[in-house]
A and B are shown apart, each in its own frame.
Chain A
């Protein structure tokens, strides 16, 4: 499974990649350090699109919300499965990003074991959507 993460925090990117290395589901993780870098990659038609994209909400230059809106407005990108990966767990942020089209909302766990558990759940659920032809419009998951 191809995974992408946009997050300005270097430690968060490191733990995220480490966690994926330890999961059962084989994956290839690409990381981006802000929204501009991410959108630049996604908008190049020749670049491979991820099966699952994780967006941090608070990033300098371009926020996760702004990336989400651009992705949903782009016909080639709008069907990407998007997971919000944030330190915030305010109800407003959760509901607002779901309404804008995010599929998953994850509050960043503060220990590595929890992170692995959460990412594993996200990946296996996404896997069922891919392999069982479930309706992605109804794909909403909050962890």
Chain B
């Protein structure tokens, strides 16, 4: 028998972190997603142990301040893409610099330096990834997705999908469906 699971990324991460922090007896307060304030001093050895323990879950501490800023940019982009329907449409550059209180060229250079890609490309990647998820999990049509993600037309989304992945949305759907089929056999 095959079971297909759906994950809530945020809940999973928060629950893991909560359990891990408790296991280490750290007094803490969660200040934002992926941001924890420790209320008591801990030694660097404890932190190292904590880090190797959470690494089993694919989570790790970010030390570098550049990396922290990049992570913040990624979080804002992710929120922006996921909640597009509730937002007033503004340009990504304006939205990011307002949210993070830095000018865009600073953020943009920093981002490229750390991630080897540009903010623009990253936004497109996130949108296309979200499109894939919606195609697979929610069975939305490409037209519905284009509307949801604020594309000017379904042709625009379709073209961006092809440019980013090298395959068309329908080929993507067909491949995923065939994979499922062969797993079920």
Give the B-binding residues of A (Cβ under 8 A). Answer: 24-25, 95, 98-99, 101, 105, 123-125, 127-128, 131-135, 137-138, 140-143
Contact = CB atoms under 8 A, between A and B. Distances in A.
A99 B133 contact: no
Contacts of A95: 171, 174-175, 178
B93 interface: no
A138 B179 contact: no
B9 A127 contact: no
15 contacts: A98-B175, A99-B178, A99-B179, A99-B182, A124-B115, A124-B117, A125-B125, A127-B116, A132-B74, A133-B9, A134-B125, A138-B132, A140-B167, A140-B175, A141-B166
Given A101-B179, A141-B166, A128 B136 contact: no
A25 B125 CA distance: 19
B116 A24 contact: yes
Contacts of A101: 179
A128 B175 contact: no
A24 B178 CA distance: 36
Contact of B115 (A98, A131, A135): A131
A131 to B, nearest CB: 7
B166 A142 contact: yes
Nearest to A104: B166
Contacts of B132: 135, 138
Contacts of B136: 138
A97 B95 CA distance: 40
A127 B129 contact: no
Contact of A138 (B126, B129, B178): B129
Contacts of A138: 129, 132-133, 136, 176
B117 to A, nearest CB: 5
Interface string B120-154: 00100110010011001000000000000000000
Nearest to A131: B115
Nearest to B175: A98
B166 A143 contact: yes
A138 B122 CA distance: 16
Interface in B148-173: 165-167, 171-172
A127 B115 contact: yes
B117 A128 contact: yes
Contacts of B179: 98-99, 101
B71 to A, nearest CB: 9
Nearest to A99: B178
A142 B167 contact: yes
Q: What 9 pairs across the A-B complex have the smallest Cβ distances? A: A142-B166, A138-B132, A99-B178, A98-B175, A124-B116, A142-B167, A124-B117, A134-B129, A99-B179
